[in-house]
Amino acid sequence: MITSSTALCRDLTGERTRRDGEPGAWDRIRNMTAAEDQHREARGSRLHPSAAPLRGAALAAGLLVSACAPETGDSLRLEVVRTLARDLAEELEALAVLADDETVAVEGALRAADVANLAACAVPEFLEAGVPQAVAAAHLAAGAVRALYALAEADVKDAHGQHEQNLLRDARGAVWRTQLAVRQVDEFMETG
């Protein structure tokens, strides 16, 4: 029988099952990503540069999901964090497959910033066992945001249209939010 923590959290290899033992949505998305990569390789096309940081951000969200095991803190609050992190991981994986236009890097940066902020807000809720994974998730998501910002900036640096300027503004906002989240996590670790 599958235990509650195993059924609700995916492990670091990306495997997640539902309560009934059937593969969850994450497994289907992972398979689609691999199939999409194989299809691109067969056509001779390469992955967009934002695919790697998007997957890194998805891994950060997965790390946060893993940190939310029932024995790591207030189970009701952590269930909400786990659900939000799982949804963000799925969105980031989907964006990694679509990573072929300028808006994907910015959308990914915004979602990765959400992962970092979610981790920073949740760190005080964890007991000692879950804190290192939540802190690691915040830092990994922050790195992904910085990488995605650099890629987004390179994509639209010469464009002077209002849409492009709004994209850069959104990406800068994601960087700022992530810096705040990392600072919050670091301060918690110093005082905790």
pLDDT > 70 in the chain, percent: 72
Q: Which CATH architecture has domain 48-191?
A: Up-down Bundle (1.20)
Cβ neighbours for 182, distance < 8 A, ≥ 6 positions apart: 116, 120, 138, 139, 142
What residues does each domain of the chain span? 48-191
- Give the whole-angstrom CA distance, residue 100 versus residue 16: 28
DSSP 110-145: HHHHHHHHHHHHHGGGB-TTTHHHHHHHHHHHHHHH
Report how far apart, in Å, the C-alpha atoms of 67 and of each of 27, 47, 74, 122, 164 are: 19, 30, 12, 10, 37
Residue 22: pLDDT band (50, 70, 90) is very low
Nearest to 85 by CA among 144, 24, 32, 134: 134
Mean pLDDT of the chain: 80
pLDDT tops 90 at residue 14: no
Least confident of 53-67, 117-131, 175-189: 117-131
Mean pLDDT of 166-188: 95
* Per-residue confidence (pLDDT) for residue 11, from 0 to 100: 38
Residue 17 DSSP class: B
Query: pLDDT tens digit string along 115-170?
Result: 999 999 999 888 788 899 999 999 999 999 999 999 999 887 767 788 888 999 99
Helix axes 102-122, 162-191, angle to 10 degrees: 20
Please report, to the nearest 10 degrees, the dihedral formed by the alpha carbons of residues 114, 115, 117, 118 taken in order: 110
Long-range contacts of 117-121 (CB under 8 A, 24+ apart): 117/177, 117/178, 117/180, 117/181, 118/64, 118/81, 118/84, 118/85, 118/88, 119/60, 119/64, 119/67, 119/85, 119/181, 119/185, 120/180, 120/181, 120/182, 120/184, 120/185, 120/188
Nearest to 58 by CA among 85, 21, 27: 85
Here the tokens at position 54 are 């998007």
**What pTM value is reported for the model?**
0.75
Mean pLDDT of 43-54: 78
